[in-house]
Amino acid sequence: MAFHRTYIADLLGAMDKDLALGVQSELATLIGPCVSDLYEGNWVYFADATTKAGAHECLVYFMPPGRSIVLQSPKLPKGDFELGGDQGGNTNPNSGACEVYVKWKDAKTLARLAFHELLHNRLKLGNTLHKEDGLRTGGVITSATKLTDGNKRDMAKGIKQPVPQWSDGIILMTNGFHDPMSEFYKP
């Protein structure tokens, strides 16, 4: 049996090293029980310019507040995307793109937000996901939000189904680092 892979793409450095390592650990803890019947375990990697997530893997972008890579993804649904406010992230379920905004310096909260956005991504659901409990809620997700048995079943169901992950955002950002006209430019 192989290991499941989850990728964290923090290409703009929204998290410092300690926070990123904490999110990596927390996300592994959340996804691990969801894949235990399918894989030996779950490994969480940091994405780089060469990362291409597979259709059974997970990819989540971590973005500074006010920035979005999901808005660059293809087949964007109309009316579902709004940056700012209390939102912790966004997902384009039509393209396999999801992101978390690093507004908090708490690894547990950010990992739970990532799990929530990955549920949108893997299940290809918009806001109908929010009618459920735990990490599927439409309410505020915090470090205390519980991972429920229903959350685990839904993530396992989503990972069983092939859902292409939008890795092109990695290329857009890494190419943008060197382009002064790009919103991702890093002088």
Domain ranges of the chain: 4-176
pLDDT recorded at residue 79: 66
- Where residue 141 falls among pLDDT bands split at 50, 70, 90? very high
Render pLDDT for 161-178 as a digit per residue (tens, 0 to 9): 999 999 999 999 999 888
- pLDDT value of residue 182: 87
Confidence of residue 15 (pLDDT cuts 50, 70, 90): very high
Residues 6+ apart with CB under 8 A from 7: 44, 45, 46, 47, 51, 53, 57, 58, 59, 60, 165
Instruction: Report the topology of domain 4-176.
Output: Collagenase (Catalytic Domain) (3.40.390)
Give the model's pLDDT for residue 81: 61
pLDDT at 80 over 80: no
Query: What pLDDT does residue 171 have?
Result: 94
Residue range 137-149: mean pLDDT, rounded: 91
Residue 86's pLDDT is what? 62
Per-residue pLDDT at 85: 56
**Residue predicted with more confidence, 87 or 71:** 71
**97-101 and 89-92 strand pairing:** antiparallel
Q: Would you say residue 47 has pLDDT above 80?
A: yes
Question: Rounded to an integer, what distance in angstroms lies between the CA atom of residue 34 and that of residue 177?
Answer: 35
What is the chain's mean pLDDT, rounded?
91
- Tens digits of residue pLDDT in 99-116: 999 999 999 999 999 999
Residue 117 has pLDDT above 60, yes or no: yes
What confidence score (pLDDT) does residue 84 get? 55
Q: Quick one: average pLDDT of 21-33?
A: 96
CB 79 within 8 A of CB 126: no
- CA 120 – CA 136 distance, rounded (Å): 9
Q: Between β-strands 4-9 and 42-46, what pairing exists: parallel, antiparallel or unpaired?
A: parallel
Report residue 158's pLDDT band, with 50, 70 and 90 as the boundaries. Answer: very high
pLDDT at 152: 95
